[in-house]
Structure 1
Amino acid sequence: MVGFGPADVPPTATVKFVGAGTAACIADLLTFPLDTAKVRLQIQGEAGCSAAAGSGAVVKYRGVFGTITTMVRTEGPRSLYNGLVAGLQRQMTFASVRIGLYDSVKQFYTKGSDHVGIGSRLLAGCTTGAMAVAFAQPTDVVKVRFQAQARSAGPVRRYCSTIDAYKTIAKEEGIAGLWKGTAPNIARNAIVNCSELVTYDFIKDALLKSTLMTGSCHLSYAWAPGTW
């Protein structure tokens, strides 16, 4: 019986789990300013978030890059990374479960069968997407709270650190406050997970069956679902 070579050994669930979280953290480090700008644009118009509180006529942020420029000018470059610690905690939890456990959950639904239908893939995508949100929602809540907290808002900031934010939210709003928005987030991520990972799965299988497996193929079938 011929054994696997070092490059042919399938990665374990632990390797996939840690690898997915680590890759997501690296991506988050590169894109966090864009995420912060998105949050500021989303909350613009809320009381205390506009340039003149209570005035609907003044718009502080205009467009993604306009928002980034305004934040750097008024709050300093570090403001673009408000909530980064919570963001990395989120990615290590969220992506590890959402992506890292996908193959294991898929095998669970197929009971180890070599034939994997679209139903099993969809179920696996929905399951890991929902599980990821359930585990990572507190980190997401804290991340967004920090991103929405303007550094120029005053001498006293509501949250002094990531740990303080968890404690403050739990104390003032109850433990349930850390899971605010869980239901819509589960619905959204279940759909996203199915769309991305199931598409990724099908494209990967198609490329493998067509014997076109090269280093660039991994990039191809990872890129395609993310653009849809």
Structure 2
Amino acid sequence: MANEARISKWYFGGLASAGAACFTHPLDLLKVHLQTQQEGKLSIGRNVMNIVRNQGVLALYNGLSASLLRQLSYSTTRFAVYEVAKQQLSTPGQPLPFYMKVLIAASGGACGGFIGTPADMVNVRMQNDIKIAPEKRRNYKHAVDGLYRVLREEGVHRLFSGASSATVRAMLMTVGQLSFYDQVKQTLLGTGYFEDNVTTHFTSSLMAGAIATTMTQPMDVIKTRTMNAKPGEFSGMWHIITHTAKLGPLGFFKGYVPAFVRLGPQTILTFVFLEQLRQNFGVLPVAK
């Protein structure tokens, strides 16, 4: 069928990721709350109850504008690099070797992670704002206001606080999501029992989401703590790592359950949306 042969346009990944974020943002907010706890042991349910009771249901969508800005910068970049490079290097009818998919995904993730760091930092801060004392909140009105205030109050270097951990995490995330999604989908289609439909897209993206969560959780915890830290709170990356290590090895996997509960649906929705965009609005490959 013609729609199965279509390929994605470079910006489809960003649109699909932004659409998925609209549904999964409350789960992302809960993940940030759990990751920034040092001594507390509030469960997911208790966190939800506290947020809703103290701030209202809409507080679960605190920082949504920053989340959308992050997806439109971070995910657009990583998907664009991956799709364009894959289309340039592959031959129609002959899929790329898995190691090349991994290399391309890592490159795309590195670019996306660095470019998306400012929006990601504002996203973390806006999500974490509602759990701290009112007099200590940053109270950003929206993502653009947050970027402007960080630039004005803390300097341009602060916009890229946590860029190193965010970049490494984005590399792992993109490898776990994009290259493994492609590989799992290719394997399923090769069995002859699956077709290029929603069932295959769902199965492939669920497996990719589980792999990506496991690969990225330690870096995600470090990145979140770096971005949420006050100026001077930590002397460097190693200080954050040793501070987190005081909680034991599982400290680096704080928030794993909500991370997977969030990343699973996020990955599934992203790829389902992406495949629908590809099949309905994609372009046919040009013979080389």
Normalised by the shorter chain, which TM-score bucket? 0.7 to 0.9
Tell me the TM-score normalised to structure 2 length: 0.64
The count of corresponding residues between Structure 1 and Structure 2 is: 207
- Indicate the residue corresponding to 2:64 in structure 1: 84
Distance (whole Å) between structure 2 residues aligned to residue 127 and residue 155 of structure 1: 38
Unaligned 5+ runs, structure 1: 46-55
Whether the 8 Å CA contact 1:133–1:185 is kept in 2: the answer is: yes
TM-superposed CA distance for 1:153, in Å, is 0.8
- Structure with greater contact order relative to length (CA < 8 Å, sep ≥ 6): 2
Matched, 1:30 2:23: yes
Matched, 1:211 2:192: yes
Unaligned 5+ runs, structure 2: 212-288
Residues 85 and 6 of structure 1: is their aligned pair in 2 closer, same or farther, counting only changes over 3 Å? same
- Indicate the residue corresponding to 1:227 in structure 2: 210
Q: Partner of 1:145: helix, strand, or coil?
A: helix
Distance (whole Å) between structure 2 residues aligned to residue 191 and residue 33 of structure 1: 23
Distance (whole Å) between structure 1 residues aligned to residue 108 and residue 18 of structure 2: 18
Distance (whole Å) between structure 1 residues aligned to residue 16 and residue 200 of structure 2: 18
Larger relative helix fraction: 2
- Indicate the residue corresponding to 2:128 in structure 1: 148
Whether the 8 Å CA contact 1:13–1:101 is kept in 2: the answer is: no
Superposition pairs for residues 164-175 of structure 1, below 5 Å? 164-175=145-156
TM-superposed CA distance for 1:100, in Å, is 4.3
Superposition pairs for residues 160-199 of structure 1, below 5 Å? 160-199=141-180
- Indicate the residue corresponding to 2:36 in structure 1: 43
Distance (whole Å) between structure 2 residues aligned to residue 198 and residue 175 of structure 1: 33
**Corresponding letter in the other structure for 1:177:** R
Q: Partner of 2:7: helix, strand, or coil?
A: coil
Distance (whole Å) between structure 1 residues aligned to residue 118 and residue 169 of structure 2: 16
Q: What is the root-mean-square deviation of aligned Cα atoms in Å? A: 2.6
Whether the 8 Å CA contact 2:66–2:142 is kept in 1: the answer is: no
Tell me the TM-score normalised to structure 1 length: 0.79
Residues 8 and 26 of structure 1: is their aligned pair in 2 closer, same or farther, counting only changes over 3 Å? closer
TM-superposed CA distance for 1:25, in Å, is 2.0
Matched, 1:201 2:194: no
Whether the 8 Å CA contact 1:126–1:191 is kept in 2: the answer is: yes
Distance (whole Å) between structure 2 residues aligned to residue 223 and residue 156 of structure 1: 36
Structure 2 residue aligned with 1:133, among 87, 96, 113? 113
The percent identity for this pair of structures is 26
**What are the superposed Cα offsets for residues 55-86 of structure 1, whole Å, 9 maximum, x if unpaired?**
x7xx4x71112111101111222222111101
TM-superposed CA distance for 1:193, in Å, is 1.6
TM-superposed CA distance for 1:184, in Å, is 1.0
